[in-house]
Structure 1
Amino acid sequence: MKEIKSTFDKRKVVNWILLILWMIIIFAMSNQPAVVSDKQSGLVITTLTNLGIDMNGIFGELANFIVRKTAHFLEYMILGILILNVLEIHYTRQKIRLLGVLLVFLYASSDEIHQLFVQGRQGAFRDVVIDTLGGTFGIFVISKLKVLRLKK
């Protein structure tokens, strides 16, 4: 019985550490001036072009916008999954999805407020919506996969 509790405690600590580290990564990325952030988006577009996906050819001036918003969605999808993993330890299954989405929304909101104080950046409610959709997607996909795994 002690071995099970020890494994549970380790899992709990690891889940919390991963969540906090990911939140720090999001904060650090949001803390970069607009010039740095634009260079990163440009690097992604260049990499995709080198792989045969010509984002500029397909989307023109929208390429940078699409890359940036996709990054928002994906980073918050990961955040949603990590939040779900932490919440599963503390709450019943019925509460965790809604609470997870709420926490993603609150963190996304605080992230956009933070960007108001970063050189060349601005907070945008549109980004809060994209972030929340990403987190919601991650939470619900993982929840469904876990339910399917339990049925087997």
Structure 2
Amino acid sequence: MKKYFSVIISVLIMIIIFKFSSEDIGRSLKHSDAVSRIIDYIFDGGMLLSVRKLAHFIIYFFLAFFLQFIFPDNSISSKNKKIVLLIVFIYACSDEFHQIFVSGRGAHFRDVIIDTSGGMTAIFMTHLWRKTYKKINIRARIS
């Protein structure tokens, strides 16, 4: 069940990424401008933040996070982590390539780096969580 849920969520995230990439620069700027205003209001203008770059990082973080759960809990090996990261990297590259064909948009390798960094962070955090959870379970069994 968890595997199918992860597949569905991963595909939905990919569709969302594709949809946002399909928007021309005017619509894209409207979305990030609206979010920027909210953040500016919350932090009273005291936080300089590139909303667009943060959005890249976050959405690919969640993509990698859910892709990991396609593999069984105990088999998220180093090889599987590399596969997840490769999927994230390839999708980020294809996303940037797709933007070449959208009016006012372009491909930027720095966005691929940001996207992949989001994926790497998700993989690393999940690894730490699983390692910590395993230690807690071992300690609970011993006591």
Residues 1-152 of structure 1 correspond to what in structure 2 (within 5 A)? 10-54=1-45, 59=48, 63=49, 66-88=50-72, 92-152=76-136
SS of match in other structure, 2:43: coil
**Structure 1, unpaired ranges of 5+:** 1-9
Paired with 1:69 and 1:123, the residues of 2 have a C-alpha distance of 14
Q: Identity over the aligned pairs, expressed in percent? A: 35
75 and 53 in structure 1: CA distance in 2 versus 1, 3 angstrom threshold: farther
SS of match in other structure, 1:54: coil
Partners of 2:53 and 2:111 within 8 A in 1? yes
Partners of 1:30 and 1:111 within 8 A in 2? yes
Aligned residue pairs total 136
Deviation at 1:145, TM superposition (A): 0.5
Q: Which has the higher helix share?
A: 1
Partners of 1:97 and 1:140 within 8 A in 2? no
Deviation at 1:50, TM superposition (A): 2.2
Letter matched to residue 49 of structure 1? D
